[in-house]
Amino acid sequence: MDLSPIGGSFTCCGVPANQRGVVVGHMRGVRGGRRRRWRQRQVNGCCCSWAMDEGSRMWMVTCTAPVNIAVIKYWGKRDEELILPINSSLSVTLHQDQLKSTTTVAASRDFKEDRIWLNGKEENINHPRLQTCLREIRRLARKRRTSGDGNSNTLSLHHKVHICSVNNFPTAAGLASSAAGYACLVYALAKLHGLEGELSEIARQGSGSACRSMYGGFVQWMMGVKEDGSDSIAQQIEPETHWSELRVLILVVSAEQKPIGSTAGMQTSVKTSPLLKYRTEIVPERMKEMIDAIKRQDFETFGQLTMKDSNQFHATCLDTFPPIIYLNDISKRIINLVHRYNSHFGETRVAYTFDAGPNAVIYIREQHVDEFVEVVKHYFPPEENGEQFLKGLPVNSVSVSEHLKSSIQMDSIKSGIQYIINTQVGPGPQLIQDANLHLLGENGFPKQ
Ligand code: DP6
């Protein structure tokens, strides 16, 4: 296989080398104990930068991917291997300015084995779901090559890869870290191989909810009916620009690891919960209503369905035997607060949803953010000198009327909420053009 990076047949991201390519610098690197000469080339409009030394070549890509929060929940699989769900689901992609995974993948014939580092620590690359993603991307690249698809590049499929990934939010705290992580991995590997097009089917096999992080805006994961899972894919319903006033507040209740992971939890629910079977009958109609509400920007319907679906998911968890309890006392107080706030105004201004953890995700329109955040601060006063309470998009300080406080009537709990992230709907995975942002150094190992 021709790997010649200069001239010749080298193509990357579908762009032949002779149509781009600027040498941006020479670097000296130390590898294997001896000083060797590296040349780094940043190619115009292309994802790959690579270092070359005496015939060894490295291909490197860095991408980011978003978190998504479901408003119609996925819970339960009909096929554990292929990760095929028992119902369709729908989510909102959050903006990467606040929450994202970043992944660098590098390939080189010098690499002895595939390796992965997650949040600064080397992890076992033999994890079956990681292996599936690697295998499926390589399989797709091979298929596109055989069929003569000009989009794939000439990177050898025998090269081993080094993968380095970080999240800028607490891992496994019910903030869909595996969704952003697998979406980012699949997107970055695809870019490395010059693959475009539908990739959610592969991301789904890393973590079910990851398929929805492959798109921005409002995204449905259609459960599909085929046994091979080829129709169980994500689809964008509306882009991130569709409902510009929508905001998302993440109330971080606990940044600790969740007691039971989603994968194990849903397995037990499938085996033991009669309510989960009933849910499969309810969800198709709910999906239609939700899609319609999003298209019409009808917050009343969107908010009510979101809360009902979250409650039904947690009811299913409680119906599981032994029961799974993700919500804690603070989560339940937040639920109460939202209902009292809404009933004061006689309309749905705020909607909560909870995944497999106690943190609340609040959907709200921009015009109500300042007041609602003030209400949250009033009932969950932050720790003095604690960490910054408000993160993300700016929030203005306003006063809360006595009338509103007397309708809510709740005791306040100091430091029940650690911090709030204010964010909005955002785009899908992004390719990072700046080679300085690679997480792997020119030796192919994580930068310190
Ligand atoms: C509660 O996608 O993490 O967040 O497919 O086993 O990796 P696996 O599960 P995962 O489950 C997410 C469940 C949820 C609801 C949702 O995001 O739809």
DSSP string, 357-412: SS-EEEEEEHHHHHHHHHHHHHHSPPPTT-S-SEEES-----PPPHHHHHHH----
The CA 355 to ligand 1 mean position distance, Å, reads 8
Distance from Cα 17 to the centre of ligand 1, integer Å: 41
Chain mean pLDDT for the chain: 87
Q: State how beta strands 34-42 and 22-31 pair.
A: antiparallel
- Residue among 67, 262, 287, 314 to mutate when testing ligand 1 (max atoms within 8 A of CB): 262
**83 Cα nearest atom in ligand 1:** 5
For the CA of 174, the closest atom of ligand 1 is 4
Closest ligand 1 atom to the C-alpha of 355? 1
If you measure from the C-alpha of residue 233 to the centroid of ligand 1, how many angstroms do you get, rounded to a whole number?
A: 15
pLDDT number for residue 145? 84
Q: Which CATH number is 61-241+428-437's, of 3.40.50.300, 3.20.20.150, 3.30.230.10, 3.40.640.10? A: 3.30.230.10
Widest CA span of the chain, in angstroms? 75
Ligand 1 nearest-atom number relative to CA 206: 7
pLDDT band at 264 (very low <50, low <70, confident <90, very high): very high
pLDDT the model gives residue 14: 37
Give the Cβ contact number of residue 7 at 10 Å. Answer: 10
pTM, two decimal places: 0.89
> 326 and 174 in contact (C-beta within 8 Å)?
yes
Alpha helix segments (H runs only) across 63-159:
128-146
Q: Which of 31-35, 56-60, 297-301, 386-390 shows the lowest mean pLDDT across its residues?
A: 31-35
Q: Which atom of ligand 1 is nearest to the CA of 178?
A: 3
The span from the CA of 249 to the CA of 398, in Å, is 17
Task: Give the tokens for residue 133.
Answer: 């993603």
Q: Name the residue at shortest CA distance from atom 7 of ligand 1.
A: 207
Q: Where are the domains of the chain?
A: 61-241+428-437, 246-424
Residue-level pLDDT at 170: 63
Quickly state the pLDDT bin for 42 (edges 50, 70, 90): very low
Test site for ligand 1: of 84, 209, 312, 314, most ligand atoms within 8 A of the Cβ: 209
- What's the pLDDT tens digit per position in 237-258? 999 999 999 999 999 996 566 6
* Cα torsion through 439, 442, 443, 448, rounded to 10: -40
Alpha carbon distance 378, 373 (integer Å): 9
Q: Encoding tokens for residue 9?
A: 């047949």
DSSP state of 17: G
246-424 shares the fold of 61-241+428-437: no
pLDDT tens figures, 370-400: 999 999 999 999 987 667 899 999 999 999 9
Q: Whose CA is nearest to atom 14 of ligand 1?
A: 355
- Measured from the Cα of 313, ligand 1's closest atom is 1
Per-residue pLDDT at 100 exceeds 70: yes
Q: Is the pLDDT of residue 5 over 70?
A: no
Asked if the model's pLDDT at residue 17 lies above 90, the reply is: no
Q: pLDDT tens across 419-437, in order?
A: 999 999 999 999 999 999 9
Q: pLDDT tens digit string along 200-213?
A: 999 999 999 999 99
Q: How many CB atoms lie within 10 A of CB 37?
A: 12
Residues within 6 Å of ligand 1 by CB: 70, 73-75, 83, 89, 176, 178-179, 207-209, 262-263, 355-356
Q: Which residue has the higher pLDDT, 1 or 183?
A: 183
Is-cis flag, bond preceding 66, omega within 30? no
Superfamily of domain 246-424: GHMP kinase, C-terminal domain (3.30.70.890)
Name, in order, each residue with C-beta under 8 angstroms of 434's C-beta and a sequence gap of 6 or more. none
pLDDT tens string 27-39? 333 343 344 444 4
Q: Quick check: helix, strand or coil at residue 91?
A: strand
Measure the CA–CA gap between 104 and 441, rounded to whole angstroms: 10
Structure confidence at residue 52 (pLDDT): 47
Q: What is the mean pLDDT of residues 61-86?
A: 98
Q: What is the pLDDT of residue 415?
A: 85
The confidence band for 157, taking pLDDT boundaries of 50, 70 and 90, is confident
pLDDT of residue 47: 45
